[in-house]
Homo-oligomer: A and B are copies of this chain.
Amino acid sequence: MAAERASSRVLPNGLSSRDFENALKEFAAAIGDANVIASGEALQDYRDPFAFASADPNAFAPAAAAKPSSVEEVRAIVKIANEFKIPLWVVSRGKNLGYGGPAPRVAGSVTIDLGRMNRILEVSEEFCYAVVEPGVTFFDLYEHIRAKKVKLWLSVPALGWGSVIGNALDRGVGYTPYGEHSENLCGMEVMLPNGEVIRTGMGALSRGKTWHMFKHGYGPTVDGLFLQSNLGIVTKAGIWLMPQPDFFIACDLQFERESDLEQIVDITGRLRREGIIQNTAVLSNAVRLISRLGARGKWFKGDGAAPEDVVQRKLREMGLGAWNLRFAVYGPEELAEGRLKIAKKAFAAILGSRFESKKWDVRAHSPEEFTAAIGSESVQAGVPSLFALEVLKYRGEDGGHIGFSPILAPSGKEAAKLANLVGRMCHEHGFDYYGGFSFGGRHLWSVMMILYDKKNDEHRTEVDRLFRKLVKEAGELGFAEYRAHVEYMDLVGDPYDFNGHALRSFTETLKDAIDPNGILAPGKQGIWPKAMRGAGSAHKGV
């Protein structure tokens, strides 16, 4: 398929081949020939690694990629794009798998790859923050902090190869007490679509020292505008880090029955609101637990969803319950132990639950020892890894996934309602229900992945059907996603319909004012510039 794609060149809409060649020359003059990628396998890498749904193999194909190394070079690219009216798409590391990876919403976009802007500009051990460029990965920042023996912990998502800033801007989730990544951003530098640079909050105070300490400034706070956004390009940002705790106690709970779900969610939610559980607790169902073993073929040879009795047998064989809950407690010993005791008592109310914990005296280990020993609890201790990749092989060697991750109330009833709906629909379309819930301070992220075989045409068709149905049926029950694959960015925005999608219209008013040429990431999260909007609908297509 790669060869088939490479044969058809994708141009920005409305631009002649000649004009595009001229634009490419200007890009090359501004940032260097080697940093403009306009053909070949290297350009293929900027497509969706899991593409499945569209009949058109070029639906989300970029025309080129440009790799600036500085704010000035980003500005040069933005100016050229405005001149030629070329849509831009921006990626930090492009590792947002399941959401399209580096692929642009609009075919023929030029993708700005910020991977070369990978400087760690500051780490303040005293005030517990780092300032980084978008190309810095979780691995990079972790290694830097470890090498400098700085006593701060990162919060990392399941896969550590992504961008610290890119992940936070997309509202990524980690598993320490700092796990709501967008909430731990503090102070940004942003290039607007016209090439102007602003610094947010206290960063506007050119003589100030508190840019990365206070999230606000004087007048409106604009930072939120740049989350999941096509209103600006974040060129650096501060991220809060957690003071290294003296103790870390990883807790691992097994629950016998599927019907324990409501009680587990109610108790965990309450402990989160009370601050007893400090981090993003993760609740996993049977398939999610079993998928850690890799290929399903090792224990079930059939097609379609694995039968319930087969799954149950596998669970028992692994010594696991129907639900598994993981969280950790952190702090000075007496506080960590106090939290553990309270949590144990709370979960003892669930008949047949098993509570295991493993205590670490963090100070007793060198960073290297700790990293090596931490193993599968790593994300709760902010140690980046790639363990989670294993899961991709569940339905085939060349596996893909897409998530359906609505936000819901931390209520057992709500969680059960969603789990029942999603489970039933997955089975109907021949997929196992890989699922669970992550616990924010006041909400749940539903975690669900449709794991499929990229080489299987039937899988690809069914994934698309299933996803569309999920958005619709869950939306009718009041559940909607907080992020989306490029293919579904309009669809996922549909249920956000209060007062005729007034919030979307408002954001589009801002878009038109800030980006009159509509060059920056048109269509991202369903926000289209004026020229691409249809009357009363999300967009007229491109």
- CA A479 to CA B213, docked complex, whole Å: 13
- CA A331 to CA B205, docked complex, whole Å: 38
Tell me the chain A residues, 470-503 only, with Cβ under 8 Å from chain B.
Answer: 475-484, 492-493, 495-499, 501-503
- CA A209 to CA B415, docked complex, whole Å: 12
A221 touches B214 (CB 8 A): no
B499 touches A407 (CB 8 A): no
CB neighbours (8 Å) of A192 from chain B are 506
B498 touches A213 (CB 8 A): no
CB neighbours (8 Å) of A332 from chain B are 276, 338, 342
B503 touches A202 (CB 8 A): no
- CA A265 to CA B372, docked complex, whole Å: 37
CB neighbours (8 Å) of A477 from chain B are 207
A475 closest partner in B (C-beta): B207
A535 CB → nearest B CB, Å: 17
- Cβ-based interface call for A306 (8 A): no
Contacts A200-B503, A210-B407, A502-B198 given: A223-B224 contact, CB under 8 Å?
yes
- Cβ-based interface call for A182 (8 A): yes
- Cβ-based interface call for A67 (8 A): no
A228 touches B224 (CB 8 A): no
B196 touches A442 (CB 8 A): no
Contacts A198-B503, A414-B209 given: A493-B219 contact, CB under 8 Å?
yes
B334 touches A334 (CB 8 A): yes
A442 touches B186 (CB 8 A): yes
A444 CB → nearest B CB, Å: 9
CB neighbours (8 Å) of A223 from chain B are 224
B182 touches A216 (CB 8 A): yes
CB neighbours (8 Å) of A495 from chain B are 205-208
- Cβ-based interface call for A443 (8 A): yes
Chain A interface bracket (under 10, 10 to 19, 20 to 34, 35 or more): 35 or more
The residue that A243 contacts in the complex, of B182, B274, B507, with Cβ under 8 A, is B274
- Cβ-based interface call for A229 (8 A): yes
A188 CB → nearest B CB, Å: 11
- Cβ-based interface call for A341 (8 A): yes
The residue that A216 contacts in the complex, of B127, B171, B210, B273, with Cβ under 8 A, is B171
- Cβ-based interface call for A60 (8 A): no
A66 CB → nearest B CB, Å: 23
A218 touches B410 (CB 8 A): no
Bitwise, A500-527 to B at CB < 8 A (1) or not (0) is 0111111101101110000000001111
- Cβ-based interface call for A534 (8 A): no
A524 CB → nearest B CB, Å: 8
- CA A475 to CA B205, docked complex, whole Å: 9
B414 touches A199 (CB 8 A): no
- Cβ-based interface call for A183 (8 A): yes
User: Given A182-B216, A334-B338, 19 more contacts at CB 8 Å?
Assistant: A196-B505, A204-B498, A204-B504, A206-B495, A207-B476, A207-B495, A208-B478, A213-B407, A219-B527, A220-B224, A220-B228, A222-B506, A222-B507, A243-B274, A275-B331, A334-B341, A335-B335, A335-B342, A338-B338
User: Which A-B residue pairs are the 7 nearest by beta carbons?
Assistant: A221-B224, A513-B513, A219-B525, A207-B478, A204-B496, A214-B443, A204-B503
